[in-house]
Amino acid sequence: MSNAATIAETLQDATRRLRVAGVANDLLDAQTLLCFTLGRDRTWLIINYREPIPEGVASRYAELVERRAKGEPLQYITGRQEFFGLDFEVAPDVLIPRPESELMVEEVVRLVTTEVLGKPLIVDVGTGSGCLAVAIAREVPEAQLIAIDISAAALCIAQRNAVRHGVETRIEFLTGDLLTRLRDKATIIVSNPPYIAAEEMAGLQREVRDWEPRIALTDEGDGLGFYRRLLSEAPGHLQPGGILICEVGYQQADRLRALVSSTHWQMPRFLTDLQGYERTMVVRLQTDPSAITVTSE
């Protein structure tokens, strides 16, 4: 008879370890890591609950649980995150895609289907894992895309994600600072820029603060730096009537409304996320230059 711990006992020990370490979803994370180590799904775990843990798995699992206990995000350990129903490779060089960013993909799809945009050129600025560009390419087959990031390491991952989802021939990847290397005029620019104020960094959850790339999180200023730049630089890179869609930080919407009024844009619309926060700004270039209002924040 085997002396090895059962799957149930192994899971209980790991859950306890994660709880002591202050991991919020202790049981769920312990299960996910065990499924990952075993290469099995949750149903298999439940059916085999009383079985001994297979040889060689326990020590590997213990290592992964220890990494999670030290605060490493689950997604960097498994190397995977789902976004818009697609499986994305992630690593510490890229931000882990968040569900609220799916709003931007939905809005692009809505605009392309409700307005006659022909074969749109859609530019994703700060593409990271490529989640927005890849999901849009999958949802809008007539679109061409350009994905830009200042991080060459992030772009490598974005390119692999494009290949994984069969859209690599429709996305051009550019390393560069915001729109500076963009030569074509876009129909739509989407961006989830770094928007956390430098002074808020210390108060972030440790999984975010200590593990996700700082360059993906903060502008090292008041959190609005990238919006100021996008609102002033994007008009030169958009077709007439072009649209800028940005994710915005918690409680930044009013400050953005004030910023937009000082530029060459129509009044922005904000889309709310499932928690009721204004999360996505949609703003269109002015078509009537006499309607431009010039004010400052």
The answer to the question of residue 126 lying near ligand SAM (CB under 6 A) is yes
Looking at residue 213, its amino acid is P
One character per residue 78-117, x = contact with ligand SAM (rule: CB under 6 A): ----------------xx-x---x----------------
Dist. CA 241–CA 174, nearest whole Å: 24
The answer to the question of residue 215 lying near ligand SAM (CB under 6 A) is yes
Cβ-based neighbour number of residue 43 at 10 Å: 9
Dist. CA 295–CA 267, nearest whole Å: 13
The answer to the question of residue 148 lying near ligand SAM (CB under 6 A) is yes
Cβ closer to ligand SAM: 187 or 192? 192
Dist. CA 60–CA 44, nearest whole Å: 19
The answer to the question of residue 30 lying near ligand SAM (CB under 6 A) is no
Nearest distance from C-beta of residue 217 to ligand SAM, angstroms: 7
Nearest to 90 by CA among 150, 34, 160: 160
The answer to the question of residue 248 lying near ligand SAM (CB under 6 A) is no
Those residues whose C-beta lies under 8 Å from the C-beta of residue 141, and which sit 6 or more positions away, are none
Residue with tokens 């895309």: 145
Which own/partner contact pairs does 253-259 have at CB distance under 8 Å and 24+ positions apart?
253/278, 253/281, 255/224, 255/297, 256/224, 256/227, 256/281, 258/295, 258/297, 259/224, 259/227, 259/228, 259/231, 259/297
Nearest distance from C-beta of residue 185 to ligand SAM, angstroms: 19
Nearest distance from C-beta of residue 254 to ligand SAM, angstroms: 21
Nearest distance from C-beta of residue 52 to ligand SAM, angstroms: 40
Stretch that binds ligand SAM, among 114-122, 123-131, 138-146, 288-296 (CB under 6 A): 123-131
**194, 223, 242, 268: which one binds ligand SAM (CB under 6 A):** 194
The answer to the question of residue 252 lying near ligand SAM (CB under 6 A) is no
What does the binding site for ligand SAM look like in residue numbers (CB under 6 A)?
A: 94-95, 97, 101, 126-129, 131-132, 148-151, 154, 177-178, 192-194, 215-216
